[in-house]
Amino acid sequence: MPLELFLDLYSPPCRAIYIFAKKNGIPFEFRPVELGRGEHLKPEFLKVNPLGKVPALRDGDFLLAESVAILLYLSRKYQTAPYWYPPDLQARARVDEYLAWQHTAIQLPATNVYLCKSLLPHFSGQPVDTVCLDRLLGKLKPALQHLDQEVLAAKPFLATEQVSLADLMAFTELMQPTAVGCDLFRDWPRLGAWRARVEAALGPELVQDAHKLVLQPRDPRDAQQDPRLAQELVHRLQERLS
Ligand SMILES: N[C@@H](CCC(=O)N[C@@H](CS)C(=O)NCC(=O)O)C(=O)O
């Protein structure tokens, strides 16, 4: 049985893994888990990841969750090109530093912006709460400022002189609010130039392939298919964003 990746390409960490696997020619079975249909809460998926979150990996009887752990597992198992996760002690530590920092500094606040701008209005049928959105965008600002004015003032990529797992994770996370109209690159010129460098390094076609779902407007009819699920998701989102 080939390696299985449980993904929803609406999810930034899932896109990072998808791009990494495709870019490195890693063979895998794509197992779709549609969050918008509540598939992550179904018993079949909870056997793969009891936390009910994507991405997840199954390799034989080995199960793994968390995007960073999955990327590192794939890079080690398939011995991918060294620039992704450099063998040099200090260069590797720079990648580790970003991957540890990004969970709370980027992933959490960027996801919240996306949920407030796109997913909550989609499932609730209500307009975007602009006060909440401004508050959530404010929480991202220190991290964007740090990347633009310190990290990228010193080097072309976030950890080293070449694209690495740090850039891949950052790229897919920052694209999430950007794809739904909160352009995180607009006010930060170095970050904008970095985005173009990362896209060129990953390959524009692969980037487009991974992002085509999130770049399309959601069909409002999808949210009405299962009103009980929609209500449950709205409740979870409101609790998370309050
Ligand atoms: N830190 C985790 C985050 C996983 C995560 O929160 N995934 C989201 C999609 S981006 C999810 O599955 N959400 C479903 C839920 O929380 O109910 C990672 O990087 O893998």
Q: Domain holding 28: CATH number?
A: 3.40.30.10
Q: What percent of the chain has pLDDT over 90?
A: 94
* pLDDT score of 1: 77
> Which of 54, 70, 123, 214 has the most ligand 1 atoms within 8 A of CB, as the residue to mutate?
54
In the chain, the number of structural domains is 2
Specify the residue with its C-alpha closest to ligand 1, atom 19.
67
Rounded mean pLDDT, 115-120: 96
Give distance in angstroms: CA of 125 to centre of ligand 1: 23
> Hey, what are 8's tokens?
């929803």
* pLDDT score of 81: 98
pLDDT tens per residue across span 136-193: 999 999 999 999 999 999 999 999 999 999 999 999 999 999 999 999 999 999 999 9
pLDDT tens per residue across span 48-65: 999 999 999 999 999 999
User: 147 and 70, same structural domain?
Assistant: no
**Beta strands of the chain (E only): which ranges?**
4-7, 29-32, 56-59, 62-65
User: 67 and 109, same structural domain?
Assistant: no
Q: For residue 30, what is the enclosing H or E element?
A: strand 29-32
User: 203 and 115, same structural domain?
Assistant: yes
> Which of 7, 11, 18, 114 has the most ligand 1 atoms within 8 A of CB, as the residue to mutate?
11
* pLDDT score of 197: 98
- Euclidean distance between CA atoms 16 and 169, whole angstroms: 6
Q: Domain holding 104: CATH number?
A: 1.20.1050.10
* pLDDT score of 219: 86
What lines the ligand 1 site, CB under 6 Å? 11-13, 35, 40, 52-55, 66-67, 103
